[in-house]
Structures are given as structure tokens and as C-alpha cells.
């Protein structure tokens, strides 16, 4: 059984890549929050501020043609696969420049060209889909791997167990990553789950290794992601990883998160993955000027993206019925 993993410090170039990913995720979601408060993002949005190390670690470990499946809290997972900030912010704002021309919104990001196979608002819906994509890769002998991210609440959904079972018996190249931020919306996961670790403690039921990691440590996430991906690519089957983390804010923009004890929130914010990694980079000899340059570059990037999204118009009416039916239109109805 594996209770935790330790990783040696990666080379400085990799450290800079991981930090760049985390900074990009942080400034993107902070800007999304600001745009929401300016009433430029309608409806709701689910931010992953505080959870950036998981997306960064896997983003750095994955191959360009691998598949990502994520939840409605999927902005970061989409960004690290190479999707532009303009396309993401434009989609959140319902603008024509958006990833789906403004028709999908915050909870439905997708870019097949980048291997981003969708964000899913239905809890657990994407786990069988990730298994299906992995089955396709296995059948085609393509060497591709599917990585599926989900929250702790998903572990009590039937699709979680069904997908794990088929992945295990068919040795599918899929990695299931539980982002355990301790709360399933407003309810502590521990209050409604019979085991302490909702994902890892169920791994043995499917013949899988128990893996629990510090999801706020980008080096640990990268090392474990790399190992699991290599294993899957070699035909050795699926992995189930429970990454322990914490969202800084509420479940969504409509949630102030007051149900969480103040001391708990404060303790986890002291474990901010970006602050931890910045300090480690300095300890490992990365020049502070290089770190500042990364931070400035990502801030400039999001400034440019936000302005481009603001200047983009709403999607034209004539695309209302496209991407709805299989042939791309509603003509079959006539």
C-alpha cells in the first residue's frame, strides 16, 4: 500500500514549467472572478483557486495527444493542455471568440484538437467516457492515455465504480484522479462516506494500488502522474490517485463557503501550492528574476486575453442550431 509519495526536485527547467502552469491557472481564475463581479460573466462559475498543482503536474506529464476529461471545475485542466486564455475567458463571457463560440459557458469547455474531451456538469458522467476513450486507444494501439479528473463527491456515484471495474478488468490506459478538496459542494465528504479516503480506500476493490498524495505539491503530483502515465502507456492498466487539496473559495460564485471552519480555511491557505513552490524554487537555486519574469508574463497574458474577450461580440444568431445535431444543423427536422 502507498500512503504517500515523495519526489526529488526536478530540473530547473521543469520547475519553471510547473510554476508557469500554476501561475497561468491562478491569474486566469482570479480574472474570471473579477469579470464575474463586473457582471461580464453570467450565470455561475466554479473556480479551482488553491488546486492549481494538480492540473499543472498532470499537464506537464501528459503527451500532446493524450485525453483530458474534467468536471465543471475544469478551467485549469483545459488551460494546461494549451488552450488559449482568450478562448477560455471568451467562453465564460459568452463571446464569439470563446472556445465554443460562447455557447458552452464555464461548465462545458472542450477542445478536441488539444485532447480536451470536455468538462461535465453531471457528477460522474465523464468517468465511463474516459474509460471508453482509453478503450479506443487500446484498440487502436495508439499509445494514448486518458486522464479523468473528478471531485471527492463523485466517489459515491455509481459511475465511479462502474468505470473503475471495467478499466481494471480490461487493463485500460486510463488514470482516475480524485481531487479531494474535503467538501462535496457544501457537505464534508467524511460525513457521508464510510472510509477515510473516499477514492484510495476503495482502490483495492478493483485490484488497484492505494495511492494518496499531497495535491498541493506540484513536484509530487508530477512524479506520480508521470509514473501512472508511463504504466498505462506500457499496457499495465489503470491507476486511481487521490490528490488531497483545498479550494480557497466556495463551491461556486454563489457560495460564500461559510460552512467551513475559519481555522481550517486559514490552515489550508498557508499551504497555498503556488507559495510553496515559489519558495522551493528559490531554495533550489532558481533566480528570483526568472520567477518574477514568469509571474509578469502570465499577468500580461491574462490582461491581453481579457481585453480580447471583452472586445469580442456575442455569438451570431445563425449558429444557434449548429453543434446540436449530428449533421451540424437542424435541417433533418424539415
Q: Could you read off the pLDDT of 32-80 as tens digits, one per residue?
A: 999 999 999 988 899 999 999 999 999 999 999 999 999 999 999 999 9
Q: Count the Cβ atoms, other than its own, within 10 Å of residue 313.
A: 9
Residues of the chain with pLDDT under 50: 1-9
Across-strand partners of 150? Answer: 178
Closest CA to 274 of 7, 27, 24, 22: 22
pLDDT of residue 254: 83
Q: Is 23 exposed, middle or buried (0-12, 13-18, 19+ CB in 10 A)?
A: buried
Instruction: DSSP letter for 197, please.
Output: S
Contact in structure between 92 and 32 (CB atoms under 8 Å) = yes
pLDDT of residue 323: 79
pLDDT of residue 1: 33
SS3 call for 253: coil
pLDDT of residue 29: 97
pLDDT of residue 330: 62
pLDDT of residue 212: 98
The set of residues, in sequence order, having a beta carbon less than 8 Å from that of 214 and lying 6+ positions away, is 4, 220, 221, 243, 244
Instruction: DSSP letter for 315, please.
Output: P
Closest CA to 128 of 176, 88, 86, 94: 176
Q: Is the pTM of this model over 0.75?
A: yes
Give residue-wise pLDDT tens across range 112-139. Answer: 999 999 999 999 999 999 999 999 999 9
pLDDT of residue 44: 86
Q: Domain 12-167+182-229+242-310 has what CATH class?
A: alpha beta
Amino acid at each position: 500500500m502507498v500512503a504517500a509519495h515523495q519526489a526529488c526536485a526536478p530540473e530547473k527547467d521543469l520547475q519553471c514549467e510547473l510554476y508557469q502552469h500554476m501561475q497561468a491557472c491562478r491569474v486566469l481564475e482570479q480574472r474570471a472572478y473579477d469579470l464575474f463581479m463586473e457582471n461580464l460573466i453570467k450565470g455561475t462559475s466554479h473556480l479551482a483557486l488553491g488546486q492549481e498543482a494538480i492540473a499543472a503536474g498532470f499537464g506537464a506529464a501528459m503527451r500532446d495527444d493524450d485525453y483530458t476529461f474534467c468536471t465543471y471545475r475544469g478551467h485549469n485542466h483545459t488551460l494546461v493542455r494549451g488552450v488559449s486564455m482568450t478562448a477560455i475567458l471568451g467562453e465564460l463571457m459568452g463571446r464569439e471568440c470563446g472556445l465554443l463560440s460562447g455557447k458552452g459557458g464555464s461548465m462545458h469547455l472542450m477542445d478536441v484538437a488539444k485532447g480536451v474531451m470536455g468538462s461535465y456538469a453531471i457528477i460522474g458522467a465523464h468517468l465511463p467516457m474516459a474509460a471508453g476513450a482509453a478503450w479506443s486507444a487500446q484498440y487502436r494501439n495508439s499509445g494514448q492515455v486518458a486522464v479523468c479528473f473528478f471531485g471527492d463527491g463523485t466517489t459515491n456515484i455509481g459511475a465511479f465504480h462502474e468505470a473503475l471495474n471495467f478499466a481494471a478488468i480490461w487493463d485500460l490506459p486510463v488514470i482516475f484522479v480524485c481531487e479531494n478538496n474535503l467538501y462535496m459542494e457544501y457537505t464534508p465528504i467524511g460525513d457521508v462516506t464510510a472510509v477515510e479516503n473516499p477514492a484510495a480506500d476503495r482502490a483495492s476493490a478493483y485490484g488497484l494500488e492505494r495511492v494518496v498524495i499531497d495535491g498541493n505539491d506540484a513536484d509530487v503530483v508530477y512524479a506520480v502522474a508521470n509514473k501512472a502515465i508511463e504504466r498505462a502507456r506500457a499496457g499495465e492498466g489503470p491507476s486511481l490517485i487521490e490528490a488531497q487539496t483545498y479550494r480557497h473559495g466556495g463551491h461556486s460564485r454563489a457560495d460564500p463557503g461559510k460552512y467551513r471552519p475559519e481555522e481550517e480555511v486559514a490552515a489550508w491557505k498557508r499551504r497555498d501550492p503556488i507559495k510553496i513552490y515559489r519558495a522551493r524554487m528559490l531554495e533550489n537555486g532558481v533566480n528570483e528574476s526568472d520567477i518574477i519574469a514568469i509571474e509578469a508574463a502570465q499577468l500580461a497574458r491574462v490582461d491581453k486575453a481579457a481585453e480580447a474577450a471583452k472586445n469580442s461580440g456575442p455569438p451570431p444568431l445563425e449558429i444557434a442550431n449548429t453543434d446540436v445535431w449530428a449533421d451540424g444543423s437542424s435541417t433533418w427536422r424539415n
